[in-house]
């Protein structure tokens, strides 16, 4: 009976919502063992959390951190995530047409060819609409390969990437960016044809804050990194364009809060923390769009799970 009511509610909500798009923000809560969470927003500034998780971790070391979702030209949502702190040489992957029903999870071991690789952190998806292909960028430490400052060898990260059209066959992992310092948490932003911005975390000590770089292609080469534009202890950038401004969300992890800056040119940044509202506990994610009908279906799904006291999607 509950299943019938759920289907009926979905049908009514879908019929009323049409094609209007809403912003979604992937999320997880510490200790990252319960799975994928999502926030939604009508305006890209004020966010509301759904009351359940939608995908529980089942590969790698059994965690789901830094979930990133991007949608392909066929409308399918693809998700990747950090599956372990240390020892994992790959990331988790699953796909969905509606964000509630997911494919079987797979472990994509992108750094299998690097025996000394310490980790694979924060894989970030970028859909290259011109090539109809996905780029996955992540951070890995390979001790004694790159110059470093005061970081430990096991914390001297560089960015790597692979491409895929179908998430079955992947290109060989290659170096994406060596900016001359330890770097993690990279997000590709397309402003126009031949105009791309990379937002990244300078993970050096004592910096641990955000920078940007520019390129004519999503795969680079990217120019020299800018000066930092956030305070110390900030990471996990997510970018959304609202009007003529780009908002860069970030995790101010020492303050246990989310902040944001806005910019029109990625050269001058203004604090925008007073403009945003993010639920407590939200962690590193990616912002994307989906039809309002899908959001309504997510709400109905969570309502059913809560009614059955099943907070985690199997």
pLDDT at 307: 83
Work out the average pLDDT over 126-136: 98
| Distance (Å) of CA 108 to CA 57, 196, 227 | 14, 27, 34
Write the pLDDT tens digit of every residue in 209-223: 999 999 999 999 999
Of the candidates 209, 274, 218, 263, the residue with the CA atom closest to the CA atom of residue 241: 263
Of the candidates 177, 242, 254, the residue with the CA atom closest to the CA atom of residue 211: 177
Distance CA 122, CA 120 (A): 7
Work out the average pLDDT over 91-98: 98
Work out the average pLDDT over 191-199: 98
Q: Where do the domains of the chain lie? A: 2-307
Listing DSSP states for 72-113 in one string gives: -TTS-EEEEEE--SSS--SEEEEEESSSSSBPPPEEE-TTTT
pLDDT at 308: 80
| Distance (Å) of CA 196 to CA 123, 286, 299 | 18, 17, 34
pLDDT at 13: 47
Write the pLDDT tens digit of every residue in 220-250: 999 999 999 999 999 999 999 999 999 999 9
Look at the block and give the residue holding tokens 């089942």: 58
Work out the average pLDDT over 124-142: 98
pLDDT at 118 over 70: yes
Before 289, cis peptide (omega within 30)?
A: no
Write the pLDDT tens digit of every residue in 52-82: 999 999 999 999 999 999 999 999 999 999 9
Confidence class of residue 17 from pLDDT cuts 50, 70 and 90?
very low
pLDDT at 45: 98
pLDDT at 6: 47
pLDDT at 310: 58
pLDDT at 5: 47
For the chain, percent of residues with pLDDT exceeding 90:
90
Q: Both tokens of residue 187?
A: 């997000």
pLDDT at 15: 47
Confidence class of residue 172 from pLDDT cuts 50, 70 and 90?
very high
pLDDT at 297: 96
pLDDT at 125 over 90: yes
Mean pLDDT of the chain: 93
Look at the block and give the residue holding tokens 């790159």: 146
Confidence class of residue 14 from pLDDT cuts 50, 70 and 90?
very low
| CATH tag, 2-307 | 2.115.10.20
Work out the average pLDDT over 1-28: 64
2-17 vs 292-307: helix axis angle to the nearest 10? 160
């Amino acid at each position: 009976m509950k299943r019938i009511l759920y289907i009926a509610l979905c049908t009514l909500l879908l019929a009323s919502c049409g094609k209007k798009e809403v912003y979604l923000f992937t999320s997880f809560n510490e200790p990252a063992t319960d799975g994928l969470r999502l926030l939604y927003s009508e305006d890209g500034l004020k966010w509301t959390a759904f009351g359940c998780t939608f995908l529980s971790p089942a590969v790698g070391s059994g965690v789901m951190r830094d979930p990133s979702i991007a949608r392909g030209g066929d409308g399918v949502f693809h998700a990747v995530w950090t599956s372990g702190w240390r020892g994992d040489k790959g990331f988790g992957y699953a796909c969905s047409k509606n964000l509630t029903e997911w494919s079987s999870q797979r472990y994509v071991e992108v750094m299998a060819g690097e025996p000394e690789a310490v980790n694979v952190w924060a894989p970030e998806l970028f859909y290259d609409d011109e090539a109809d292909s996905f780029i996955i960028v992540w951070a890995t430490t390979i001790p004694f390969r790159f110059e470093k400052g005061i970081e430990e060898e096991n914390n001297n990260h560089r960015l790597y990437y692979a491409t895929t059209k179908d998430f079955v066959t992947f290109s060989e992992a290659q170096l994406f960016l060596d900016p001359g310092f330890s770097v993690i948490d990279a997000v590709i932003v397309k402003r126009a044809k031949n105009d791309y911005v990379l937002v990244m975390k300078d993970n050096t000590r004592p910096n641990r804050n955000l920078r940007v770089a520019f390129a004519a292609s999503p795969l680079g080469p990217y120019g020299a990194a800018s000066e930092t534009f956030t305070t110390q202890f900030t990471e996990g950038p997510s970018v959304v364009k609202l009007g003529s401004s780009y908002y860069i969300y970030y995790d101010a992890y020492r303050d246990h809060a989310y902040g944001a800056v806005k910019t029109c040119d990625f050269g001058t940044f203004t604090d925008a923390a007073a403009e945003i509202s993010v639920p407590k506990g939200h962690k590193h994610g990616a912002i994307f769009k989906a039809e309002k009908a899908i959001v309504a279906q997510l709400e109905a799904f969570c309502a059913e799970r809560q009614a059955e006291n099943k907070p985690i999607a199997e």
